[in-house]
Chains A and B, each alone.
Chain A
Amino acid sequence: MTSVPERPLEQQITLLELVDRVLNKGVVLTGDITLSVADVDLVYVGLRVLLASVGTMERLAAE
């Protein structure tokens, strides 16, 4: 394989980092209304699962 397979890993981690920041960091003020993020949490969990499988992808990329 060429060096191309490195990109998906970086992109996935970047997306995970983005969603992690938007959902879990940032200013929270008292008295605000919190939207239900049940659907979004599913996206986030999906990304975490992807990240957990990163090891497999790295081995594939190295071969």
Chain B
Amino acid sequence: MIYLYAIAEELDGLPEVPGVDGTPLARRSLEGLDLVVSEHEGREIAASEEAVLAHAHVVEGLVERSAALLPARFGRGFSDEAALREAIAGRAASLREALAQVRGCIEVGVRVLAAEPAPPPAAAESGRAYMETRLARSEETERLARELHEPLAALARAATRTVGATPRLLLSGAYLVEPGELDAFRSRVGELEAAHTELTFVTTGPWPPYSFAPGGET
């Protein structure tokens, strides 16, 4: 099996870290794209926490060695060279588009946590009142999430967001930021934090642009 870590442009060498299972890294060049892979006997790799971290380390090591990088999702491999070639050939145009978008940018994550999850509406209320309360709350969550997300997205080349994934997680946003905008981005997070002292803001990154690599839904 050929295990895939990332697709890059202008890759300049491989990081000196082992791949998943301790296997050495290798590269392939297909359709003008640089692929970072490792070769494994059979079709199985033990999916462990160590393997996840090894994958993450390889991707991290590739960031500074490439002009643009799309990390691959963990745990994806190809049965042979032909399968890899075919998979890339069918997606080369969209991969190039995605690489152009992330080029020169880093990903920053922002999670906003509400102070406490809202208590459930009183059970004695009528069905309609209950539904109205729930609706009003989800509209309020959406409004607040938008109020936090939009000023950050305005400083980013691209942005994604998830709202209300759990009762406490108000917003989980990913922002594709140019390094020159990072200070401005951090200050804006600080301003939002100052305006919403009841919320907890956690900024993470810079990350390789995982959230801006095309998924498998297409």
Contacts and interface: CB of A to CB of B under 8 A. Distances in A.
A36 B1 CA distance: 14
Given A25-B213, A55-B168, A31 B47 contact: no
A30 B216 contact: yes
Contacts, number: 133
Interface residues of B, number: 53
Q: Is the interface of A mostly helix, strand, loop or mixed?
A: helix
Contacts of A30: 87, 90-91, 216
Interface stretch (B72-80, B126-134, B185-193): B72-80
B83 A26 contact: no
Interface residues of A, number: 34
Given A22-B56, A35-B44, 14 more contacts: A14-B204, A17-B111, A18-B207, A25-B213, A27-B4, A27-B6, A27-B7, A28-B73, A29-B87, A34-B76, A35-B75, A39-B49, A54-B168, A55-B113
30 contacts: A13-B202, A13-B204, A17-B109, A17-B111, A18-B56, A22-B59, A22-B74, A23-B52, A25-B213, A25-B215, A26-B74, A27-B6, A27-B7, A28-B72, A28-B76, A29-B72, A29-B87, A31-B78, A31-B86, A32-B76, A33-B76, A33-B78, A35-B77, A37-B74, A39-B46, A40-B49, A40-B52, A51-B169, A52-B166, A54-B168
